[in-house]
């Protein structure tokens, strides 16, 4: 069924990728949700976007739909370019769309959705660092892009850890590479400070950093049975996918192993921002780019196709159920 389609049938994959997002997003097109705001996590760039767009609900939903489709194909393009997945398969695209469409309330613009754009771009540039002596240009661009993403969604600051661990993974040990990563990351914040200084509002910086970076996560989030079931099932298939990806990695050539490890690191570090957003409907969006790859490996690695189809079908049904129940109670 689904698995064979994504392994062999290129035309039917395209059909599924056209029909699936339209069906999943149909409730939001009929009754667009309110634009998402998370005051302690939203940064200045998103706050400006929120106040400019919050009353244009249909446009917000339409833009979010277009952005998610573009992100899904961008992830697939990155993975196939570096031979991490088959060129004829759009399974990562399909999984990413499911992950990003799991809740009616998130079918609009959000700081996490915008931040994912910069996260995917940074992944594309960072994977180029492999087999380079220092990779200073790529490192600077990667950290600069991540920092811009942080100016939309504050927990993205934690992805600097992904860069540093990733440099060790690529065996880039020179101090200049780590120094450049710091310079790239602080550059947008320096520009922000200069802006506040020129606006004669430098006093706001202290409260700004206290508001956005000194946050204690709230773990009272399992207030809906469907949320409990969905997150539990996601954990059930994610944990084995993590180990299956390691096994998949060991059977590949060195360049694929290194880049696969980088994506595994990205997923592991993504769990840190996830902890800060765990009480919000957007909680699972931050690790969607890396998890799409891990789940692709999981579904393709199951030897019995019938079991792989069963796991994927349950995931699709839970996604649809979660959308409909959240739409019902809005």
| The two three-digit tokens of residue 291, written as one number | 């998890």
* 146 within some domain: no
Instruction: Specify which residues 42 forms β-bridges with.
Output: 153
> For residue range 185-224, what is the model confidence (pLDDT) as tens digits?
999 888 877 776 666 565 555 555 555 555 555 555 556 6
* Domain that residue 8 falls in: 2-132+216-328
Q: How many domains does the chain have?
A: 1
Who wins on pLDDT, 44 or 139? Answer: 139
Q: Which of 260, 241, 238 is nearest to 249 (CA)?
A: 260
* 197 within some domain: no
Q: Which of 102, 105, 107 is nearest to 317 (CA)?
A: 102
* 43 within some domain: yes
SS3 170: coil
Indicate whether 328 pLDDT > 70. no
* 176 within some domain: no
- What distances in angstroms separate CA 308 from CA 129, 134, 230, one per listed residue? 34, 41, 18
What average pLDDT does the segment 50-72 reach?
94
Indicate whether 44 pLDDT > 90. no
* 182 within some domain: no
* 180 within some domain: no
User: For position 268, what pLDDT does the model report?
Assistant: 92
> For residue range 228-264, what is the model confidence (pLDDT) as tens digits?
888 889 999 999 998 899 888 887 888 889 999 999 9
Neighbours of 325 (CB within 10 A): 17
> For residue range 217-226, what is the model confidence (pLDDT) as tens digits?
555 555 667 8
* 163 within some domain: no
Split at pLDDT 50, 70, 90, the class of 33 is very high
* 305 within some domain: yes
User: For position 221, what pLDDT does the model report?
Assistant: 52
> For residue range 254-313, what is the model confidence (pLDDT) as tens digits?
888 999 999 999 999 988 877 766 666 666 688 899 999 999 999 999 989 999 999 999
């Amino acid at each position: 069924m689904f698995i064979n389609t994504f392994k062999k049938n290129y035309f039917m994959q395209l059909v599924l990728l056209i029909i699936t997002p339209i069906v999943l997003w149909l409730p939001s097109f009929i009754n667009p949700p309110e634009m998402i705001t998370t005051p302690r996590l939203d940064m200045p760039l998103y706050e400006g976007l929120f106040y400019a767009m919050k009353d244009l609900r249909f446009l917000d939903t339409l833009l979010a739909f277009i952005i998610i489709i573009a992100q899904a194909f961008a992830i697939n393009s990155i993975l196939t370019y570096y031979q991490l997945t088959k060129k004829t398969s759009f399974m990562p695209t399909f999984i990413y769309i499911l992950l990003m469409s799991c809740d009616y309330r998130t079918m609009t613009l959000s700081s996490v959705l915008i931040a994912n754009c910069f996260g995917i771009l940074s992944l594309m540039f960072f994977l180029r660092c492999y087999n380079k002596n220092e990779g200073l240009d790529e490192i600077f661009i990667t950290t600069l892009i991540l920092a811009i993403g942080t100016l939309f969604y504050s927990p993205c600051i934690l992805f600097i850890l992904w860069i540093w661990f990733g440099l060790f993974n690529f065996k880039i040990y020179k101090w200049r590479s780590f120094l450049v990563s710091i310079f790239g990351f602080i550059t947008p914040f320096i520009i922000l400070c200069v802006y506040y200084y020129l606006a004669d509002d430098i006093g706001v910086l202290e409260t700004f950093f206290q508001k956005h970076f000194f946050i204690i996560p709230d773990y009272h989030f399992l207030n809906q049975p469907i949320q409990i079931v969905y997150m539990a099932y996601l954990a059930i298939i994610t944990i084995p996918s993590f180990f299956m990806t390691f096994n998949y990695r060991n059977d590949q050539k060195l360049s694929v192993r290194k880049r696969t490890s980088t994506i595994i690191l990205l997923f592991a570090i993504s769990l840190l921002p996830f902890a800060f957003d765990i009480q919000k409907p957007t909680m699972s969006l931050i690790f969607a780019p890396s998890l799409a790859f891990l789940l692709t490996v999981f579904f393709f690695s199951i030897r019995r196709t019938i079991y792989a189809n069963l796991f994927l079908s349950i995931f699709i049904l839970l996604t649809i159920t979660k959308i409909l129940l959240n739409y019902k109670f809005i």
